[in-house]
Structure 1
Amino acid sequence: MTGFPGTHPIKADTVHVVADTLAVTMTGSIVCQGILREGLGLVELVLPDADPQQRRDLERATRYTFELRRGGTLLYQSPQLKVHETRRAGDGALIVTGSPR
């Protein structure tokens, strides 16, 4: 499944992210959801607290793609996205927000 993920959260246990010079697979509690902000459709990806270097690489990235899996089954494959924002959640999770443009 590709395109815009929709407003219902997609919960996964594995994500493979390719961002600029980073390619990493993370496991844990992962959530992807489409959101609207100021009339722009965005994809919000919530990742578990990552290795500090991986986190810094994602925070510096300008573009990224990702694949979500649960139990080995592909749930969602994103198009190439432009990073709009990275921020930390209260529980330490990294939230990456992006759009196709």
Structure 2
Amino acid sequence: MTPGTRPIHGDTAHVFVGTVPLLFTGSITCQGVLEKGRGYVELTLPDADPEQRRLLERSTTYQWELHRDGRRLYSSPLLALHSTRRSGTGSLVVKGAPTSAPPGG
């Protein structure tokens, strides 16, 4: 399963900012979006921990794995952070695109 225009729903996301692992649980969605002719993937996370949000907002690259019921649905490549924002429901939306930078950024 890969993110496209149809959303993928999970209950756990392991997000890696450099060597720092972040764990998000709850209602999580990823979906491919097209903006000004460029493709991105949006990861919508529950925004429960301000520390995790700040770490993501300050990062330049990140990776993540999406799980549902203990089964991995998707593992992203290294992504360059494009933007972060809050959704109308208060969730954290992280938008990124694949990068050619070496892992660990």
Output the TM-score relative to the length of structure 2.
0.89
How far, CA to CA, are the matches of 1:24 and 1:50 in structure 2? 12
C-alpha contact 1:14 1:70 (8 A) present in aligned 2: yes
Which residue of 1 is the match for residue 103 of structure 2?
Answer: none
Which residue of 2 is the match for residue 68 of structure 1?
Answer: 66
How far, CA to CA, are the matches of 1:69 and 1:86 in structure 2? 21
1:95 is aligned, of 93, 96, 103, to: 93
How far, CA to CA, are the matches of 1:7 and 1:63 in structure 2? 22
| Segment drifting more, 64-73 vs 85-94 | 85-94
Q: Give the C-alpha shift of residue 69 in structure 1.
A: 0.4
Which residue of 1 is the match for residue 45 of structure 2?
Answer: 47
Query: Identity of counterpart residues, as a percentage?
Result: 58
Output the TM-score relative to the length of structure 1.
0.92
Letter in 1 for 2:23: T
SS of alignment partner, residue 54 of structure 2: helix
Q: Give the C-alpha shift of residue 89 in structure 1.
A: 1.2
How far, CA to CA, are the matches of 2:12 and 2:90 in structure 1? 17
Give 5+ residue unaligned stretches, structure 1.
none
Q: Give the C-alpha shift of residue 97 in structure 1.
A: 0.2
1:81 is aligned, of 74, 79, 82, to: 79
Q: Give runs of ≥4 in structure 1 deviating > 2 Å.
A: none
How far, CA to CA, are the matches of 1:23 and 1:46 in structure 2? 17
Which residue of 1 is the match for residue 33 of structure 2?
Answer: 35
RMSD of Structure 2 on Structure 1 (CA): 1.2
Q: Give the C-alpha shift of residue 21 in structure 1.
A: 4.9
SS of alignment partner, residue 57 of structure 1: helix
- 1:22 matched to 2:20? The reply is yes
